[in-house]
Amino acid sequence: MALATLDRISPFLRCPRCRSALANEAGTLRCTSPTCPHHSRDAFPVVGNWPLLVDFECSVLRRDELVLATERAGTVLRGEIPAPAIERLPTALRGLWRPLNRVAARNLDRLLESLPGRSPLLLVVGGGTIGNGVASAYTDPRVQVVGFDIVGSPHTQFVADAHQIPLADRSADAVLVQAVLEHVLDPSRVVAEIHRVLRDGGLVYAETPFLQQVHAGAYDFLRFTASGHRYLFRRFEELDAGSVAGPGTQLLWSVDYLVRGLTRSTTAGRLARAAFFWLRLLDTLVPPSHQADNASAFYFLGRKRDRVMSPEEIVEYYRGAQTGRPRQRRRRTSARAGSP
């Protein structure tokens, strides 16, 4: 696995409040700035293997709850709590429930091939689990993977809130943020943080839902159209973008949640999803223009730049099947207004 050691990334760790360097004292971390509220010795406790680098005054996370969750993660890591049931299923059955995300696999390969040659650093935002289709990032011996999430896991080096990434400016060569931005209160701020920690010309790969039901309870906040997703990354040059999964997969989600609602049973919904797995095959029959209006999720592969995409550009960006864009309507209205 290409997971970087905590010692390797320690020089890049920063205070989430003021971005000053951190000092390690007696098993805890603190901010080195005397004027920072996190200058006290117990500012950032280390629970198990994971420093909790969270500014709790500016986060929805709560310190006591996070400590307990991280302690529990340590018991999972030691094997005291069994893995989730789906992870214990045979590979063939897991494939029916959760088929390989070939779009992510293809784009991650492109991203890895574009990274510089000397131990590039890949930051995984929300890296508590290895995302579907991105395992190659963890097996590439050339890449150093840095992961964080709101709980500890074998795939993360620290716990943090993505609104305040505790890393130095321009410290990462690439960022992976898969199925995360719908679970944060302020996605624009998170993307701004991604832009900040990326080196000049650094790469980002993101996947975010459009038409999906709530799947993280109280921590599920937002959805994005294709244009909205592009504008979220308006300070990045687009290398590629499109649908991760189309209308068939979106319909499969709806079948699952419809059955859940009718039966009041999550298990029944999951069984319905397994029975109607073939609906996702319909995605291949829908052209990209219609998928842009009705996809389950979108991806974006981009490169950091300084220029910001304008509102006019995002209106022109629309790639869906619907006609009569606002700009075209304005032109027709102006032409009529100017006629005698």
pLDDT tens by residue, 100-122: 899 999 999 999 999 988 889 99
* Stretch among 88-97, 214-223, 273-282, 316-325 having the lowest mean pLDDT: 88-97
> How much is the pLDDT for 187?
98
Strands 50-53 and 158-160: parallel
Amino acid (one-letter) located at 183: H
Structure tokens at 83: 């893995």
What pLDDT digit, counting tens, does each position of 210-268 carry?
Answer: 999 999 899 999 999 999 999 999 999 999 999 999 999 999 999 999 999 999 999 99
Q: Is the pLDDT of residue 22 over 60?
A: yes
The owner of tokens 């991806």 is 299
Q: What is the DSSP letter of 37?
A: G
pTM above 0.95, yes or no: no
CATH class of 6-12+101-246+286-338: alpha beta
Residue 8's contacts (CB-CB under 8 Å, 6 or more residues apart) are 144
Burial of 228 (C-beta count, 10 Å sphere; 0-12/13-18/19+): middle
> How much is the pLDDT for 89?
56
> How much is the pLDDT for 278?
94
**Rounded Cα gap, residues 304 and 234, in angstroms:** 10
> How much is the pLDDT for 93?
56
What pLDDT digit, counting tens, does each position of 36-60 carry?
Answer: 999 988 889 999 889 999 999 999 9
What pLDDT digit, counting tens, does each position of 128-157 carry?
Answer: 999 999 999 999 989 999 999 998 999 999
Question: 91 or 249: which carries more pLDDT confidence?
Answer: 249
**Rounded Cα gap, residues 146 and 99, in angstroms:** 26
- Paired with 243 in beta bridges are 298
Q: Is the pLDDT of residue 320 over 60?
A: yes
The residue ranges of every structural domain in the chain are 6-12+101-246+286-338
Q: How confident is the model at residue 71 (pLDDT cuts 50, 70, 90)?
A: confident
> How much is the pLDDT for 325?
56
